[in-house]
Structure 1
Amino acid sequence: MTHTWDPDRYLTYADERGRPFVDLLTRIGATAPRTVVDLGCGPGNLTALLADRWPDADVVGLDSSPEMIASARATEPRVAFDVADLRSWAPPERVDVLVSNATLQWVPGHLDLLPALVGQVAPGGWFAFQVPGNFDEPSHTIRDELAAEAPYAEHTAGVAVPSSHDPAVYLDVLAGLGCRVDAWETTYLHLLTGPDPVFTWVSGTGARPTLQALPDDLRPGFEAEFKRRLAAAYPEHAYGVVLPFRRVFVVAQLASSRDF
């Protein structure tokens, strides 16, 4: 089953999801790029920050989800949005800034894709991305464990799950491609409120393909048990529920033409 994305659910914690994008953006040193592309732009709320940063650039947002692109087009007129698969994306000419925010983790074997993405960036240009690095946390392991149990396993086998690498792995690959690389990681402590907040978070992203793979008669039971286990793993305090979230960041600058 091919899963779909819900822009409204994804934007439930828009501020928390957006902070890593802002932290990534501040480390990109481009001053006057002509073309800026956001690969995996989602609902476009963060792509708008690229238009704010570089108002004279042609900013393009691409995503494989028609639902996300429809939402983006309805809210941000300064950006040209389109549906595209980053695995086969090829711009008419090399771009000056290529950004991918919380997207590559959904592409199996995405390390092998990095040379092609670097090849779409102009000499002296910038390639920057961030991916979650929290896949050993209960928010993911509980889903995996529950999905492997009966009666769910026969429906969730082979469902899409995200994965990523440590910063040093990305640094090694991109430095080997001749880039100057800045790679780091940050663990955010998101303070969430409301009923079942961690479930609300993961159901909009990492757990969504699993939930959509379940038939209607099984999904409510799965969700109820998932919520129960998440609540035990992430207890509520007087000030809310703390969700630790590790992120991996990479900013790479290509050599300029005079360096070749």
Structure 2
Amino acid sequence: MTTPTWNPTQYLRHADHRARPFGDLLARVPDPPTARPRIADLGCGPGNVTVRLTERWPAAHVTGYDNSPEMLAKAEDRAGATPAGGSLDFAHADVRTWRPEEPYDLIVSNATLQWVPGHADLFAAWIDGLAPGGTLAFQVPGNFASPSHRLMRELADSPRWRDRLADALRHDGAILTPEAYLERLTALGCTGVDVWETTYVHLLTGADPVLDWVKGTGLLPVLTALADDPQARDAFVAQYRAALREAYPPGPHGTPFPFRRVFAVARKES
């Protein structure tokens, strides 16, 4: 899979819709075991949801980790001390190799692990790095079989694009089933493991809004792979736009965009 080049401005164009699942995840996370918790946000992006951790726990020391220089540069605008004596900072790290170097009371990840092949194999090290009573919580998109992703993969695998884009995109195996996450986390000794899924139906507005959405996330590997050939990039986007228009026709109030997500919250025994 091609490593994407992120554009924070494009990503944040649908910030309200993208942030809603993090709020739903956070609502199910128990309070950390200490009054001044240490919190890690893996794949923090531009930091727009990381700041919510300081709002929930104002005395916490929160660090957002990401491997995108563009995203971290945007996130730095949010760094600093909190009125309750906590702090928010950001650091470069690759989720694939990141390991806790100190005990964390909460490790959270929002819409990131789908980019990390074999991410469930990392859970053991992260849980080991939790303080007793600490929590691992994450949510991942579960929409890889939806038209937005299926049509993209089919087009990338067509004769015109196969040679250039064969390995660019993720497939259905990018995430596990909710049952598999439950089994993995329970087998690691976590208690009160809570796994669920939700399908949001976002009402998007504007011209080609689903294309505008995926330009900020799922389409990025294609845009990155074709960045040195603008003519080819534009041709792919034109074909994909036509397919999306047929799959997601606008209604009288906007374009409905169903989006499934999978959530998990697991607590380490205290």
Q: Give the TM-score range, shorter chain.
A: over 0.9
Identify the residue that residue 179 of structure 1 maps to in structure 2: 190
Tell me which of 98, 109, 122 is aligned to 1:100: 109
Identify the residue that residue 13 of structure 1 maps to in structure 2: 14
Identify the residue that residue 40 of structure 1 maps to in structure 2: 43
Tell me which of 106, 109, 112 is aligned to 2:118: 109
Identify the residue that residue 90 of structure 2 maps to in structure 1: 81
SS of match in other structure, 1:114: helix
Q: Which moved more, 1:82-91 or 1:46-55?
A: 82-91
Q: What is the aligned-residue RMSD (CA, Å)?
A: 1.3
Whole-angstrom CA distance in 2 between matches of 1:74 and 1:43 = 9
SS of match in other structure, 2:80: coil
Could you tell me how far 1:2 is from its partner in structure 2? 3.7
CA 216–239 in structure 1, closer or farther in 2 if over 3 Å, else same = same
Gap runs ≥5 in structure 2:
82-87
CA 21–190 in structure 1, closer or farther in 2 if over 3 Å, else same = same
Q: In the alignment, does 2:26 pair up with 1:25?
A: yes
Could you tell me how far 1:152 is from its partner in structure 2? 1.6
Q: Which moved more, 1:65-74 or 1:150-159?
A: 150-159
Letter in 2 for 1:61: G
Q: Is the 8 A contact 2:153 2:169 kept in 1?
A: no
Q: Is the 8 A contact 2:48 2:75 kept in 1?
A: yes
Identify the residue that residue 198 of structure 1 maps to in structure 2: 210
Whole-angstrom CA distance in 2 between matches of 1:253 and 1:113 = 16
Q: Which runs of 4+ in 1 moved over 3 A?
A: none
Q: Is the 8 A contact 1:106 1:160 kept in 2?
A: no
Whole-angstrom CA distance in 1 between matches of 2:6 and 2:150 = 21
Identify the residue that residue 120 of structure 1 maps to in structure 2: 129
Q: Is the 8 A contact 1:33 1:96 kept in 2?
A: no
Q: Identical aligned pairs, as a percentage?
A: 51
Q: Is the 8 A contact 1:69 1:81 kept in 2?
A: yes
CA 130–33 in structure 1, closer or farther in 2 if over 3 Å, else same = farther
Could you tell me how far 1:211 is from its partner in structure 2? 2.0
Q: In the alignment, does 2:157 pair up with 1:148?
A: yes
Whole-angstrom CA distance in 2 between matches of 1:151 and 1:160 = 16
The equivalences for 1:233-248 within 5 A come to 233-248=247-262
Could you tell me how far 1:160 is from its partner in structure 2? 4.2
Could you tell me how far 1:223 is from its partner in structure 2? 0.6
